[in-house]
């Protein structure tokens, strides 16, 4: 058995009023992939911030032993100096700089402050090859996809001669293909003696690559499992502190007549006038039906949804939208909402919430008419509404006056849902409703979706997690490269079938 490279002992970190970590122990061996799992808000990210020196030594209790020596990191540069590099969930790349510039940012290949561009480009090319990228180092980061950006981050870490690589939710926004490539890379690193700590929600990924797993719950380290003991059920049980018999609530569909229809929908790229992003899409949703859209990252699902919702994406949009058989005008978000459409975004921080404002104001912002009279807001009605939806969606917060930016991902998502539930739509489009949130909160959100359908609403769910679509929908459309390439009742669908529809379409396209 290899040696311990990192040991964190009795780590306790307190924020005013909250104990984020209490007596957490973590033991990581050299050249292993060590996964850390836990619900959102369990304290995983806090622990990694303690390790990397974001929270400087002295602001927490406990000790950190790295390669047998006690460490007192005062800042990130201290820990990076020792070869500990953290890659955050939100990528820290500068979009308008080139790949090479990003890789050597803060660590420029320079002599006396003058950058050696040949050295920079050659170095970058070498590092890119190591992570399996063949991109030109001069390409601007903004012009490559999220998956490749993630790899650039890793290349950047490699440039610092990393010994211990920490990845916080690295695959959260990656397609299955990119995720698989990333995990392969981690396994390759393991062979080269680089240790990785992987924070992830995706249990299937973890069971595939991790040597050991530490489960964290409510700021405590619960247990460390060895590879042979790893099973999804066991991890989930440890994570939530109870066993989850079923990850999806039971669904009893009562499907009625067609409520919502989109016909012959075409959309072009907002910048490139000639690039058609959505090609001739027809879909329909029935009353009380939950319909899924499956597809790979970049297949145009979000673009499709946003173009319907007030033309929030794209240009030269053509096609018709029907609600209850009548053609409706959805050319602005306001009109779309007025006609009973709602779109809960995949990116709640950028598009969903006012993060500096509290739950109450965020809950009512899409339906101010519902709490006001000739433009004057009734405070008390607003309080009632905010409390009602906080309870309905089970938002965990001290009150409706909690700032949404301080909520965990799952609770933020519930605020976004509350906002759209209060707008009382007939058709609800949920774009990646459970991205980056924990198992417990996912279940709660599935339950809400079920309730919405039971109330007779038409629900469209866009998701990259196929088991989720199979678990909660009644019917699935498969999308690829801007087209619908398959449609199947969920009862007859399987992951293999969905993939087959995609691959078949790819074959036709090429």
Locate 333 and state its tokens: 């978000």
Please list the residues that pair with 403 across neighbouring strands: 358
> Binding of another protein at residue 430 (CB under 8 A)?
no
Q: Which stretch binds another protein (CB under 8 A): 100-108, 187-195, 406-414, 487-495?
A: 406-414
> Binding of another protein at residue 309 (CB under 8 A)?
yes
- State which of positions 382-401 bind another protein (CB under 8 A): 383-384, 387-388, 391, 396-399
Contact code string over 263-302 relative to another protein, x by CB under 8 A: ----------------------------------------
Selected binder of another protein within 1, 114, 250, 376 (CB under 8 A): 376
Smallest separation (angstroms) from another protein to the CB of 202: 23
> Binding of another protein at residue 315 (CB under 8 A)?
no
Selected binder of another protein within 375, 491, 496, 507 (CB under 8 A): 375
> Binding of another protein at residue 379 (CB under 8 A)?
yes
Q: Which letter does DSSP use for residue 331 in this model?
A: S
Dist. CA 97–CA 93, nearest whole Å:
8
454 neighbors 288 (Cβ within 8 angstroms) = yes
Distance of CA 474 to the CA centre of its chain: 24
> Binding of another protein at residue 380 (CB under 8 A)?
yes
Residue 1: exposure state from Cβ atoms within 10 A (0-12, 13-18, ≥19): exposed
Alpha carbon distance, N-terminus to C-terminus of the chain: 49
Residue 165: exposure state from Cβ atoms within 10 A (0-12, 13-18, ≥19): buried
- State which of positions 334-353 bind another protein (CB under 8 A): 334, 336-338, 343, 345, 350-353
Q: Which helix (H) or strand (E) holds 281?
A: strand 276-286
Closer residue to another protein, CB minimum distance, 66 or 420: 420
Q: Contacts with another protein: how many residues (CB under 8 A)?
A: 49
Distance of CA 450 to the CA centre of its chain: 22
Smallest separation (angstroms) from another protein to the CB of 268: 20
Dist. CA 21–CA 322, nearest whole Å:
52
Characterize the bridge pairing of strands 290-295 and 475-480.
Answer: parallel
Selected binder of another protein within 419, 435, 457, 475 (CB under 8 A): 419
> Binding of another protein at residue 90 (CB under 8 A)?
no
264 neighbors 282 (Cβ within 8 angstroms) = yes
Placement of tokens 């707008």 in the chain: 423
> Binding of another protein at residue 83 (CB under 8 A)?
no
Which residues of this chain interact with another protein, rule CB under 8 A?
15-18, 20, 41, 309-310, 312, 332-334, 336-338, 343, 345, 350-357, 361, 365-366, 368-369, 372, 375-377, 379-380, 383-384, 387-388, 391, 396-399, 407-408, 411, 419
């Amino acid at each position: 058995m290899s040696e311990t490279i990192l040991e964190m002992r009795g780590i306790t970190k307190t924020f005013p009023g909250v104990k984020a970590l209490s007596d957490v122990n973590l033991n990581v061996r050299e050249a292993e992939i060590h996964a850390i799992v836990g619900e959102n808000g369990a304290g995983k990210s806090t622990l990694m911030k303690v390790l990397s020196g974001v929270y400087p030594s002295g602001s927490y209790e406990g000790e950190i032993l790295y390669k047998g020596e006690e460490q007192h990191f005062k800042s990130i540069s201290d820990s990076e100096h020792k070869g500990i590099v953290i890659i955050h969930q939100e990528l820290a790349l500068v979009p308008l700089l080139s790949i090479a510039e990003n890789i050597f940012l803060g660590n420029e290949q320079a002599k006396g402050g003058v950058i050696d561009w040949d050295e920079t480009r050659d170095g970058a090319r070498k590092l890119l090859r190591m992570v399996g990228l063949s991109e030109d180092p001069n390409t601007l980061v903004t012009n490559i996809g999220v998956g490749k950006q993630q790899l650039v981050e890793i290349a950047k870490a490699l440039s610092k001669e990393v010994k211990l690589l920490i990845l916080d939710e690295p695959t959260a926004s990656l397609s299955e293909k990119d995720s698989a490539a990333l995990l392969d890379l981690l396994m390759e690193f393991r062979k080269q003696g680089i240790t990785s700590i992987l924070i992830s929600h995706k249990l299937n990924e973890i069971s595939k690559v991790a040597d050991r797993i530490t489960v964290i719950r409510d700021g405590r380290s619960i247990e460390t499992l060895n590879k042979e003991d790893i099973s999804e059920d066991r991890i989930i049980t440890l994570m939530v502190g109870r066993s989850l018999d079923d990850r999806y609530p039971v669904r009893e569909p009562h499907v009625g007549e067609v409520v919502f229809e989109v016909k012959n929908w075409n959309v072009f790229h907002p910048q490139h006038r000639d690039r058609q992003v959505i090609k001739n899409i027809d879909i329909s949703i029935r009353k009380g039906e939950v319909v899924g859209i499956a597809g790979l990252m970049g297949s145009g699902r979000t673009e499709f949804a946003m173009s319907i919702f007030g033309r929030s994406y794209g240009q030269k949009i053509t096609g018709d939208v029907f609600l209850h058989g009548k053609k409706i005008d959805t050319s602005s978000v306001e009109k779309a909402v007025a006609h009973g459409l709602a779109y809960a975004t995949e990116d709640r921080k950028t598009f969903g919430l006012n993060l500096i404002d509290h739950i109450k104001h965020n809950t009512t912002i899409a339906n101010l008419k519902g709490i006001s009279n000739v433009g004057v807001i009734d405070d008390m009605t607003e309080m009632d509404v905010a409390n009602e939806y906080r309870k309905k969606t089970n938002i965990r917060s001290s009150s409706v006056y909690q700032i949404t930016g301080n909520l965990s991902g799952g609770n933020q998502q519930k605020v976004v849902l509350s906002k759209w539930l209060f707008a009382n739509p007939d058709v609800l489009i949920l774009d990646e409703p459970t991205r980056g949130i924990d198992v417990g909160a996912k279940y709660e959100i599935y339950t809400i979706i079920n309730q919405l359908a039971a109330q007779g609403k038409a629900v469209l769910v866009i998701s990259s997690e196929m088991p989720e679509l199979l678990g909660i929908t009644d019917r699935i459309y498969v999308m690829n490269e801007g087209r619908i390439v398959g449609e199947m009742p969920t009862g007859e669908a399987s992951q293999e079938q969905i993939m087959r529809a995609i691959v078949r379409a790819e074959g036709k396209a090429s």
